[in-house]
């Protein structure tokens, strides 16, 4: 099992690699289907997932349940599952 990432250099590298993956995937989709609608849908998907991620980690932790600290998306899913039961 991997530990927590704590070195800022590795964090920056991870961010750069994630951006590279997103840009590469978007470019391939647009090259595969060069239409304005494709670019708009990619932008909408990125915006929607970004807002959902913000909700999962910032809004819930700071406004809905400040006592719970999330470790990742699986912790968020367990939290949501337990709230619904």
51 and 83 housed in the same domain? yes
Q: Output the pTM of the full model.
A: 0.68
Considering 43-47, 55-59, 70-74, the range whose residues carry the highest mean pLDDT is: 43-47
DSSP the chain: -------HHHHHHHHHHHHHHHHHHHHHHHHHS--HHHHHHHHHHHHHHHHHHHIIIIIIIIII-TT----SHHHHHHHHHHHH-
Q: Answer whether residue 9 shows pLDDT above 90.
A: yes
For 20-51, the pLDDT digits (tens) are 999 999 999 999 999 999 999 999 999 999 99
46 and 80 housed in the same domain? yes
Q: What percent of the chain has pLDDT over 90?
A: 48
16 and 49 housed in the same domain? no
Which one has a higher pLDDT value, 65 or 10?
Answer: 10
10 and 49 housed in the same domain? no
27 and 46 housed in the same domain? no
Domain of residue 59 covers 42-85
Per-residue model confidence (pLDDT) at position 72: 77
21 and 50 housed in the same domain? no
């Amino acid at each position: 099992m991997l530990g927590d990432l704590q070195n800022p250099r590795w964090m920056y590298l991870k961010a750069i690699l994630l951006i590279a993956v997103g840009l590469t995937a978007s470019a391939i989709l647009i090259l595969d289907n060069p239409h304005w609608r494709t670019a708009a849908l990619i932008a909408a998907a990125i915006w929607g997932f970004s807002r959902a991620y913000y909700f999962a980690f910032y809004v819930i932790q700071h406004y809905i349940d400040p006592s719970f600290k999330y470790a990742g998306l699986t912790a968020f899913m367990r939290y949501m599952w337990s709230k619904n039961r």
